[in-house]
Amino acid sequence: MASDAQAGRLSGRRAIVTGAGSGIGAATAERLVADGAQVLTVDLSGEVDLHADVTEPGINARLVAQAVERMGGLDTVIPCAGISAFHPLEGHDDAYFDRVLQVNLVAVFRLVRDAAPHLKAAGNGRIVTIGSTTSTYGDEGLCAYSASKHAVLGLTKSAAAELGPFGVTVNCVQPGAIDTPMTAPAFAQMPEYRTFWEGKAPLRRLGQPQDIADVIAFLCSDDARFMSGHGLWVDGGAMVRH
């Protein structure tokens, strides 16, 4: 939760957070509200304002319209919805690859595109995308996921260049191994994988959703007003040992 010094630093901000039913998205929505923002939360399930599939054609434009109607405007977009699972390259089916790109990349692009006019009009818009350490590096069994997250980082940089003249900052948080409902099945199936990542990080633990949410809140605040176009590793230092 926000400290007394941080409480209210996002007052007046009006945000959309997708994937807000659990994990990083839920922690982010909670943190933004604690810091004073209004937040429209979206997910397929969970305790959110709107239940929606972010890959549905036209849905992101409707989410933007709903946000503007409910909150009187929109200046912050945080697309946290994402999927991942281990799939070796051999036997990797097209349908799964396409689904990962639709959720992790195409839906992010559509939301950023559809929200852009409102963020430009606000004059101090914020976009924070969710990449991964695999946005920079790859990992075995994660071809679809790594491809999508590399692309999200590229989208972030291009959007930062295009929207910067309108006062909009665009950054990408790149989490390392985070203990979330999305990663839980892999850690349960392969306990050695969890042990590996705990040992790889100099901080000697997995990240928690709140660790990522706190960085996202910073990027949404005026404290980060001159930061844009960056991918920020939030990984406990794991990738210094890559």
Tell me how far apart the alpha carbons of residues 128 and 111 are, in angstroms, rounded to a whole number: 12
- Assess whether 145 carries a catalytic annotation: yes
- Beta-strand ranges (E) seen in 70-178 are 76-79, 126-130, 169-175
Considering only CA atoms, which of 172, 229, 216 is closest in space to residue 35? 216
φ and ψ of 113, to 5 deg: -60, -45
**H/E element, 43:** strand 38-43
Active-site choice (96, 137, 145, 193)? 145
Specify the residue for token string 């940089």.
Answer: 157
Tell me how far apart the alpha carbons of residues 39 and 87 are, in angstroms, rounded to a whole number: 34
Catalytic center residues: 145
